[in-house]
Chain A
Amino acid sequence: MSPLKPSPPLDSSALEARRDFLKLFALSLGAGNLFGCVRAPDDPIVPSVADDTIEDLPTLYATALTRNGYANGVLVKTRYGHSVKVEGNPQHPASLGGTDVFAQAAIFGLWDAQRSKTVRRRGKPSNWMEFFDDLHARLRASRNGAGVRFLSEPSTSPTLQRLRREVAKKFPAAEWHTYSSLVRDNVYKGTQLAFGKPLEPRYDFSRASLVVALDADFLTALPGSVRYARDFAARREPAGSNTPTRLYSIECAPSPTSILADHRLALRPHELQAFANALLAELDGHTTIDTPYQRWARAIARDLQAHRGAGIAICGDHQPPAIHYVTHAINARLGNLGAAVSFAEPTHDGIDQLGSLRDLCNAIRGDFVESLIVLGGNPVYTAPADLDFAALLDRVPWSAHLAEYDDETSLHCGWHAPLAHELETWGDARAFDGTATIMQPTIAPLHDGRSIIELLAEISELPRGGHDLVQDTWRETMAAPFETSWHHALRDGIISETVSSVVSPALIAQNIEMPSASDEDKLDILFRPDASISDGAHASNAWLQELPKPFTLLTWSNAAMLSPATAKRLGIVDEDIVQIDVAGTRIDAPAITQSGLAENCVVLPLGYGRTRAGDVGSGRGFNAGVLRTSDEFWNSRASIRKTGKVRPLARTQRHSMAGSDAPIRVDDFPRSDATSNEPARANLFAPRDRSGDYAWGMAINLNACMGCNVCTIACQSENNIPTVGADQIRRGRAMHWMRVDHYVEESAQARLHSQPVPCMHCEQAPCEVVCPVGATVHDSQGLNVQVYNRCIGTRFCANNCPYKVRRFNFLQFTNESTRDFANPDVTIRNRGVMEKCTYCVQRIETARIETDKQGRTLRDGDVLTACQAACPTSAIAFGNLNDPDSAVSKAKRDPRNYALLAELNTNPRTTYLAKLRIVNRELDE
């Protein structure tokens, strides 16, 4: 079943490309346009909208994309059989319409021409038949699986779990190991401590009026974060009588969650433990421990008491079990368990992944492992350094690696087989709350890839297509008649009544010892997944590589992050190369300062320093993984020194210190002063005629924005925005239409702000007046439109744009290779023309045509801009200002509504809602 002619070896045309970005782009995608055509999958797939009859209309397919095994429901838009855009699935509990950056970037991942295309044996091209023959021979040779080991990443897929049982039946002696570098062992160890068994915590932020986050980035990092963000943001808006949720973030390193925190306290890891204990002690009424943050502990404890049963204490995945225990204890004390915090049985077996990996390594050392089948993942790169997994893998007589990319692990395996992309194959997965989704392919496999379940089926010697495998899993459990419920499951993207049932365990009293104070001469190292490319799995995704990481706005590389004070103390400035020494292992890394980071801490983002991630991913940044051991997996201690060398970093924002001129408005809640709307300004010109049906406008709620970048990448995908490469970024030529500015208020609590900046579509647009050829003008609906084919590129408009939202094609940034997943509704721009946010005019027009057919005008919600649709917190309201009841009109009537740089009298159509601080006066400095 290989529908496509194989693509030629990576293409000469691309190699000729002169400039960095071109090379990157062509190499990562160049082969894409060499496929003659694409086909719909063979087995029947079901669109989520009824009308897929008209060829050229976009068709949305409901499916799911997994992150660390958990499903996020998505709708994939296909045009002419090409999958071109990912949207959140409004019906899916983990999405409610929002997505994360990885879901948006999946389109690039799917079409990435650097994906592995052929089965390889010891690097030589081979094919599936040979692989299967060898595999079967190997398995049959083993006495019912003795010495056969599987290593997979945690999966919630019922079908995969069923097939594992099949494999186990056939090869009872075979053993299964689970490991991914995003292990959440601490979470389960924590519940083990607290309740005696591993449990999956689940939070309901719609029921929380108070959240205490202990280094927990619950808005972007947890399973279900997209949903959490939606609930949390909704609860933060003052509606009627209820006061918005107050968020305390006690953390080591800032995260998007910190941006919405009302009070931040940055602590070193051991201090965090101490603080947690102090907080618990305060709740228990006895102040035994005395910490410097007593004031905080007491204030927060009092606040928690005041919100019994309506609070959430939550602890980050990276924190040790002890802190998890404390948070459970706190929730138990306050009767939050069963209210905003609940537990369920884990839906996957990745409970003790490090242990599992250790077992495997020991087995290999003991030469008990004859054959190792690695299903996905890249353990050679991600495994803790002390295990020296690469060497061990070489010791295994027979090994195979099923993966999307021919990567570091493939190099050490006898066999490499291409793993099909999630959007190419059948499967199923569970969301954070257990809800199951049938994952249907949106396109036939572009390369000769197979899914894990197909491979397992082959191994258990009942080979079937993915479609049948998944159906077999659900035939019994689904409500009869099966065909109908199957159809509905595919259409809706969820299987009803699959939410895993809540258990209500009792807290076991434990006595948590105080952590040992750290030796002060050393710095705390925090290993964290990179904000853009996670643990490196997305390293060859140019969209994610070029996505500016929150706070540092760094692209195409990682950097050792220190707080400004610590850096000052060590005499380190941005872009200095520092040598980090952990127990004798040394690496060089460029340094970068980040406000809000705890003193004497160094954050080392993972996922970089890849060696076999193609031209996009290889040789960028440094590999922090080599410092990482299985005992000190998330935190470590290190000494650090300057090397005197520097490395220029590609950042999209030069500095984020904002004094008085911060364009961010923050109102205290409850209002301390009655700051109301901007004063009306005198204007020379008559107000624009709004007699037409539509006057489009946008309101961005800074009280909901956490700077997660989803809007940026959603816009990139929707509007065919090219990536330009590190060099061009360094030159200040990023092309993102929607950028997210970050600001830091220098205060004791280092308040962090993020501000998405699309085109303001000014009523009196400064850009339009200065264009000599009228290439940018206003349309009847109040849009500031850019006429690409009239633009001659004087760039006066960009100079004259006070918001600097205009993007110029300084060079030929786009190339043929983007064609395969380009949005056919949006022009590809060439060298020499200006471009910018259009309010997704193509979506407006599509919707208008549709409603014209129905003989009605557009209603609120008929048009969603790409950024608005993708935003997990619904921070962006877009709609018709002529409709007084539209969400955006309501937002603009809000006294918090303000215009950016209003003093310039540009009268922007895009305005902002002031951020709220739900102050606790006790902690207000």
Chain B
Amino acid sequence: MTARRHLLLEFSSARAMTRAESNVRDDGWTVREWFGPTPRDGDDDIATALYPRSIPIAALFGGLLGGLGCFGLEYYAAVFDYAVDVGGRPMDSAIAFVPAALETTLLGAALGAVVAFLFAARLPRFHHPLFDVAAFNRVSDNRYFLSIDAGQGDRAKRARELVALTAAIAVYEVHDDA
């Protein structure tokens, strides 16, 4: 397989990057992803609040699994496998089985959500080609980056065009075998 190449543009502010992004789009480039130290405005709007969907769904199933699983275990243990007369209470004291099941429901949901998060965010991934770009380590501080498909043709020339187009601080080439 051929290594795909793309360009990484560095900006000093979210505003600069946002402006640049639209220009680049207008110019027909494909923006693959942006990187920044804070979530982008609007990411916590209701509309996009629970996106990607996989996470809430995972939470739902995690919860169901935790709850029903625990209740089932309690019922099996107390009624069938280990039915002992405790204080003259009925074996299937279903109400008494709820509290533990409730806790495991919430636990299951949380675990589900977190597992789904790791998948959605493709974490953990300790090495990534982007980390080869020295400047990229400021992405967690005060730099913003756009990654753009490099496409074909003379790379140096195109990079110069981009800088002109976006007033990026710098442009880096990244080999991404993802």
Binding site for B on A (CB under 8 A): 685-686, 688, 762-769, 771, 774, 777-780, 907
Residue numbers in B under 8 Å from A767 (CB-CB) = 87
Q: Name the contact of A685 in the complex, choosing from B82, B84, B90 (C-beta under 8 A).
A: B90
List 5 contacting pairs A-B, 8 Å CB cutoff, sorted by A.
A686-B90, A764-B88, A764-B89, A768-B86, A778-B84
Residue of A with least CB distance to B78: A774
CB <8 Å contact, A763 and B88:
yes
**Contact yes or no, B87 A769, CB < 8 A:** yes
Interface size class of B (residues with CB under 8 A): under 10
Are B85 and A688 closer than 8 Å at their CB atoms?
yes
Q: Out of B82, B88, B90, name the residue touching A778 (CB < 8 Å).
A: B88
User: Which of A688, A771, A774, A780 meets B88, CB within 8 Å?
Assistant: A688
Nearest-CB distance from A284 to chain B (Å)? 64
Q: How far is the CB of B79 from chain A (nearest CB, A)?
A: 14
Interchain CB contact under 8 A, B85 and A774: no
CB contacts (< 8 Å) of A780 on chain B: these are 85
Chain A residues with Cβ under 8 A from B88's Cβ?
Answer: 685, 688, 763-765, 778, 907
Question: When the two chains form their complex, are residues A774 and B87 in contact, meaning their CB atoms are under 8 A apart?
Answer: no
Q: How far is the CB of A805 from chain B (nearest CB, A)?
A: 15
A643 to B90, CA, bound (A): 62
B86 — which chain A residues lie within 8 A by C-beta? 768-769, 771, 774, 777-778
Q: Are A765 and B87 in contact (CB-based, < 8 A)?
A: yes
* Chain B residue contacts of A769, Cβ below 8 A: 86-87, 89
Report the 7 A-B pairs with minimum CB-CB distance, sorted nearest first.
Answer: A768-B87, A778-B85, A769-B87, A764-B88, A765-B87, A768-B86, A777-B84
Assuming A766-B87, A779-B85, what are 10 further A-B pairs, CB within 8 angstroms? Answer: A688-B88, A764-B87, A764-B89, A768-B86, A768-B87, A769-B89, A774-B82, A778-B85, A778-B86, A780-B85
| Docked complex Cα distance between A688 and B88 (Å) | 6
Closest A residue to B96 using CB positions: A769
Question: Complex formed: what's the CA distance from A778 to B88 in Å?
Answer: 8
Residue positions of B touching A, CB distance < 8 A: 82, 84-90
A-B contact count (CB 8 A): 35
Secondary structure type dominating chain B contacts: loop
Q: How far is the CA of A619 from the CA of B89 in the complex (A)?
A: 52
- The docked-state distance in angstroms from the alpha carbon of A288 to that of B90 is 74
A686 to chain B: which residues have CB within 8 Å?
90
Which residues on the A side are within 8 Å of B89 (C-beta)? Answer: 685, 764, 769
**Complex CA distance for A767 and B86, rounded to whole angstroms:** 9
Q: Which of A768, A771, A779 is packed against the most chain B CB atoms within 10 Å?
A: A768
Distance between A330 CB and nearest chain B CB, rounded to angstroms: 56
Report chain A residues within 8 Å CB of B84.
774, 777-778
Q: How far is the CB of B19 from chain A (nearest CB, A)?
A: 62
Give Cα distance in the complex from A688 to B82, angstroms: 18
Give the distance in Å from the alpha carbon of A780 to the alpha carbon of B89 in the complex: 14
What is the CA–CA distance of A768 and B85 in the complex, to the nearest angstrom?
9
Chain A nearest CB from B85 CB (Å) reads: 4
Write out the residue numbers on chain B whose beta carbons fall within 8 Å of the beta carbon of A777: 84-86
Q: What separation, in Å, do the CA atoms of A918 and B19 have in the docked complex?
A: 105
CB-CB < 8 A to A765: which residues of B? Answer: 87-88
Q: In the complex, what residues of A have CB within 8 A of residue B82's CB?
A: 774
- Could you say which residues of chain A place their CB within 8 Å of the CB of B85? 688, 777-780
Q: List chain B residues, Cβ under 8 A from A907.
A: 88
In the bound assembly, the distance between CA atoms of A771 and B89 in angstroms comes to 13
Query: Whole-angstrom distance between the alpha carbons of A779 and B85 in the complex?
Result: 7
Chain A residues near B90 (CB, 8 Å)?
A: 685-686
A762 to B86, CA, bound (A): 11
Query: How far does the Cβ of A41 sit from chain B's closest Cβ, in whole Å?
Result: 48
Compute how far the CA of A685 lies from the CA of B87 in the bound complex, rounded to whole angstroms: 10
CA distance A764 to B85 in the complex (A): 10
| Complex alpha-carbon distance, A306 and B129, angstroms | 116
The residue in chain B whose Cβ has the minimal distance to the Cβ of A685 is: B88
**Which residue of chain A lies nearest to B84 when distances are taken between CB atoms in the complex?**
A777
Closest to A770 in B: B87
Residues of B within 8 A of A685 (CB): 88-90
Bound-state CA distance A774–B84 (Å) is 8
In the complex, A766→B88 CA distance in Å?
10
Closest chain-B Cβ to A494's Cβ sits at a distance in Å of 46
**Chain A nearest Cβ from B15, distance in angstroms:** 59
Complex Cα spacing A778 to B89, Å: 10
Q: Whose C-beta in chain B lies nearest to the C-beta of A763? A: B88
- Complex Cα distance, B89 from A765, in Å, reads 9
Question: What CA separation (Å) do A464 and B5 show in the bound complex?
Answer: 117
Residues of B within 8 A of A774 (CB): 82, 84, 86
Q: Which residue of B lies closest to A766 (CB)?
A: B87
B-chain residues with CB within 8 Å of residue A768 when the two chains form the complex:
86-87
User: A382 to chain B: closest CB distance in Å?
Assistant: 53
A841 to chain B, nearest CB (A): 15
Among B85, B88, B89, chain A packs the most CB atoms within 10 A around the CB of B88
Cα distance, A414 to B75, chains bound together (Å): 77
A764 to B88, CA, bound (A): 5
**Closest approach, in angstroms, between the C-beta of A197 and any C-beta of chain B?**
66
Closest to B82 in A: A774
- A539–B37 CA distance with the chains assembled, in angstroms: 82
Q: How far is the CA of A907 from the CA of B89 in the complex (A)?
A: 13
Give the docked Cα–Cα distance between A769 and B87 (Å).
Answer: 6
The smallest beta-carbon distance between B145 and chain A, in angstroms, is 54
Q: Report the minimal beta-carbon distance from B95 to chain A, rounded to whole angstroms.
A: 11
**Most A CB atoms within 10 A — which of B85, B86, B87, B89?**
B87
Q: Within the complex, what minimum Cβ distance (angstroms) separates B16 from chain A?
A: 61
| Bound form: Cα–Cα A768–B89 in Å | 10
**Chain B's nearest CB lies how many Å from the CB of A801?**
12
**Alpha-carbon separation in the docked complex, A777 to B87 (Å):** 7
**Which of B82, B84, B86, B90 is the most central at the interface, judged by chain A CB atoms within 10 Å of its CB?**
B86
